Structure 1
Amino acid sequence: MGLVVIVAIAAHMFQFGLLLAFESLKPDLNKMNPIEGIKKIFAMKNLIELLKSILKIAFLTILLYYVIRNNLADLLKTPACGLRCVPLILGAVMKDLVVNTAFALIVIAGADYAFQKFQFIKQLKMSKDEIKQEYKEMEGDPHIKSKRKHLHQEMLSQNMTNSVKKSTVVVTDPTRIAIALEYREGETPLPIVRAKGQNLIAKRIIEIAQQEGIPIMENVPLARALHEQASVDQYIPSDLIQAVAEVLRWVAQLQNQR
């Protein structure tokens, strides 16, 4: 019977490997909680493990029964044969028992491995589905995403409108670029770029400037240079100060004419 136990241990190690869990030796108050204990007892995973253990024991018991039954005739001859036959008969029985038990444990280990793999793949699939669901909840459905994008665009448009309203002049490359500049003498050391854009954004900047009565000056080289070198809400680059100063003088002349 000791050989059967050794074979069982070997089959378990073949399936799961040598597992040393020293963490389990640490005291845990949750393990002393009777409610938690009841939950663990009736957990689906534990019920499945219990059912597997019962099936394994039943299978090995049936196997042991058939081995003994097949060798029963030889065992009954032992008293008549005497002590000299005992080692031979018991050896044959043990050999038959060990071989069949080892084969049975290998089959059980293989079936258990296949079941564990199936459970792992199922759990992995569930995890992927949970991630997809979480991502969907975070991102929202297409309608919500579209509405969010629309609101974001409205906010950007509103911010740009407010920025252009602050500007003193808009410099344009009339076909595709518009730069809104703000300069308040005594308040801003240098002109500040309040808004800039190309194509549709440039068109929108020009429309706002026209609605607000902000001067618009066509200056292709300056507009392109500002678009490439300047950043929104930052002072203009030092090498463009002279060119921008000429634009501001033009704005001052317009205001004087009014």
Structure 2
Amino acid sequence: MAEQNEENEKSQDPTQKRLNDALEKGDVVKSQEVSTWFVLAGGTLMMMVFAGSMGSGLKTTFAGLMSNAHQIPADGAGLLRLSGRLGVEVIAAVAIPVLLVALFAVGGNLIQHQLVWSTESLKPKLSKISPAAGLKRLFSKVALMNFAKGIAKIVLLGTVMAMLLWPERTRLDTLVTLDAAAILPFVSIFALKMLGFVVVIMAFIAAADYAFQYKQWFEKQKMSMREIKEEFKQTEGDPMIKARIRRIRETRSRKRMMAAVPDASVVIMNPTHYAVALKYERGDNAPVCVAKGMDALALKIREIAEAHDVPVVENAPLARALHATVEVDQEIPAEHYRAVAEVIGYVMRLRRGLRH
């Protein structure tokens, strides 16, 4: 029972295949705080850069509207034209900043994970409408963490706002007596100051939240030993089947080699440990290895060679070198040309002598 529990316990780090499968399903690390920070930082930056031009454009538009209010036709068609013109001018004034903030929002997601196209989240699941599953999510570790995170954000941001507003309390009291033109510069500077502090605080919150979300996601991807074994069988095949296939291939390869030994020109041996059968015909670039083996296989090659009158030459260093450097059906390496040529030359002279 203990061994079975250990097999099913998800204590192993996920494999790359498991991570790739999660990505394909749209199961990725995502921190909403990181996305929020990018939007907030982008909006603050856009205010710093474009506030003047946006304010100037909108001021000109609405100043012209107010100064020419008596000339604006009050009928339906005239109001429609006016609203359309105002809409175009307002959009023209804020289009670039809004577009850049949207790009920041997209960047906040892309920086966390690569672009994913998945329909997995659109598939109907009973767990999404199950009251029991809903209660479980409501009181889960993630839900408690989100609640604590929300409280921490309120406390931190409230504290910062209070610290910033308290020194300015006397100036804030006098703002109601000032002209709107005098209030705007103070409000603009103070708003940017507050946003700057908020961006800094949110950066720490976003970093902590991303670390938490990544840890939760990684823990969810962990695998049990049984899952790892099953995945290995799916990707690499059953080890028993692979071993059986390997044995079948080795048997076929050995039979093919044995069938090629009778046609060999010479077998070079290290008396009992190594045997390499070579075939050479006039016009070939170099001798080709048609069979090789060690120990019992080497003795079998020698037995077949002697049964078919194939010369067997004992040359221990050359046999070991050829066995280590040449594969079956391959030409011998150039560094062994001379030594093998001497052996084949000796065999040819021996055969000519036997004929005479």
TM-score, with length taken from structure 1: 0.49
Higher relative contact order (CA 8 A, sep 6+): 2
What TM-score, normalized to structure 2? 0.38
Larger radius of gyration between Structure 1 and Structure 2? 1
